[in-house]
Amino acid sequence: MIRVTIWNEYLHEQESKKIAAVYPKGIHNALAEGIRGDGLEIATATLEEPEHGLTEERLKNTDVLIWWGHKGHLRVEDAIVDRVQQRVIEGMGLIVSHSGHKSKIFRKLMGTSGSLKWREVGEKERLWAVNPSHPIVKGVGPYIELEHEEMYGEHFDVPEPLETVFISWFAGGEVFRSGITYQRGQGRIFYFRPGHETYPTYYNKQVLQVIGNAVRWAAAANPSEVVYGKVPPLETLN
């Protein structure tokens, strides 16, 4: 079993009727229902729970963490961010979605600002699978078309990715590296762009397929226990 925790700040859905109409049970539960399938054991956690729902115990029992945050980035406590970072280094997978590009955890793991250009007019987005043999695009086809999404445009201030899996085109003319991978320590990281809270993106079958694939890809890192620090020599040294 792959143990997945879906973390959502869960503020917009409680504060806006318009957004609650799209995600009545919150983005975290929409995602949980959308990716539920063989081999996945799914839990959720939200900002306002004690320790943001990300206790030592919860993270120890998480193989892959999915992160959705936006307006509450600065309310996430640094100690919890450190805890998540430590688990990534130990091998926990992390999938950062949409506005998570500005989350503390993503910026900490990237070492850059995570800044980008944006525009919210509900234009069309087409995500091209530019790495067709990558496990994250399995079963998705050559592209995903989203009729209405927020635009994110280059330049995206992130380190050069390990792999670029999707590149988005927007009706307004911009392009964006919308599916990119990293490794930090033993942990695999996938950033996936779409998922603005006012659009039903997390009900799109292809989007859910990508996230489900990414969970399985990130969990396949197969982390092992490594001992660091002072060690005796293996050979006799004079």
Binding site for Zn ion (CB under 5 A): 99, 150, 196
Question: Closer to Zn ion at the Cβ: 100 or 187?
Answer: 100
User: What is the amino acid identity at position 35?
Assistant: I
Distance of CA 94 to the CA centre of its chain: 6
Question: Closer to Zn ion at the Cβ: 52 or 196?
Answer: 196
Instruction: Name the E strands within 12-61.
Output: 40-46
Shortest reach from residue 173's CB to Zn ion, in Å: 19
CB 116 within 8 A of CB 152: yes
Phi first, then psi, for residue 3 (nearest 5°) are -90, 115
Residue nearest to Zn ion (CB): 196
Shortest reach from residue 120's CB to Zn ion, in Å: 7
> Cα(87)–Cα(180) distance, rounded to whole angstroms?
20
Question: Closer to Zn ion at the Cβ: 186 or 198?
Answer: 198
Question: Closer to Zn ion at the Cβ: 8 or 99?
Answer: 99
Shortest reach from residue 103's CB to Zn ion, in Å: 13
Shortest reach from residue 133's CB to Zn ion, in Å: 30
> Cα(19)–Cα(13) distance, rounded to whole angstroms?
5
Distance of CA 58 to the CA centre of its chain: 17
